[in-house]
């Protein structure tokens, strides 16, 4: 069995590739995706747990970047999909957590970004 070298991109490169019409595939579970997600034009959510049943939704003729919260699940998903003949896949290193840290567009409430303490809490310093 041959080993396939998985191509990885950072969030900054991902942002550029999305502008070139790459599809972003988020493999996080639906509840994670609904809490907060990438705010980009073409994002598809197929949870890792549903990948086998739903892989037909992933276009084989398009370039697709896989992402999750940290880049670990998406890396496993790329390896899995490669076995089924998907060749135009990239893995986004460090995932949505790094994306949000860089303040790239997100929808929803990020659990990653630090909450600033201020306002009515008089005990904040």
98 found inside a domain: yes
Q: Region 91-116: what's the mean pLDDT?
A: 82
Answer whether residue 34 is part of any domain: yes
Q: Tell me, yes or no, if 124 is annotated catalytic.
A: no
Tell whether the model's pLDDT for residue 111 goes beyond 70.
no
DSSP conformational letter for 70: S
CATH of residue 99's domain is 3.40.250.10
pLDDT digits (tens, 9 = 90+) for 26-38: 999 999 999 999 9
> What is the average pLDDT value for the chain, to the nearest integer?
87
| Residue 115 forms part of a structural domain | no
Task: Tell me whether residue 119 is in a domain.
Answer: no
How confident is the model over 97-102, as a mean pLDDT? 95
Q: Is residue 118 part of a domain?
A: no
Q: Whole-model pTM? A: 0.85
Total Cβ atoms within 10 A of residue 92: 29
Model confidence band, residue 110 (pLDDT cutoffs 50, 70, 90): low
Which domain does 35 fall in, by range?
8-108
Any domain includes 64: yes
Q: Which residue out of 68, 117, 118, 124 is catalytically annotated?
A: 68
- The answer as to whether 37 is a domain residue is yes
pLDDT in tens, 43-91: 999 999 999 999 999 999 999 999 999 999 999 999 999 999 999 999 9
* Inside any domain, residue 122: no
């Amino acid at each position: 069995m041959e080993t396939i070298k998985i191509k990885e991109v950072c969030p900054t490169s991902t942002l550029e590739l999305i502008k070139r019409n790459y599809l972003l595939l988020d493999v996080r579970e639906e509840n994670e995706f609904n809490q907060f997600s990438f705010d980009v034009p073409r994002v598809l959510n197929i949870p890792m747990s549903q990948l086998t049943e739903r892989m037909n939704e992933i276009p084989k003729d398009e370039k697709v970047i896989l992402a999750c919260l940290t880049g670990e699940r998406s890396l496993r998903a790329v390896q899995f999909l490669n076995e089924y003949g998907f060749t135009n896949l990239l893995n986004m290193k460090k995932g949505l957590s790094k994306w949000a840290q860089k303040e790239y567009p997100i929808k929803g409430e990020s659990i990653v970004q630090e909450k600033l303490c201020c306002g009515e809490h008089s005990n904040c310093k």
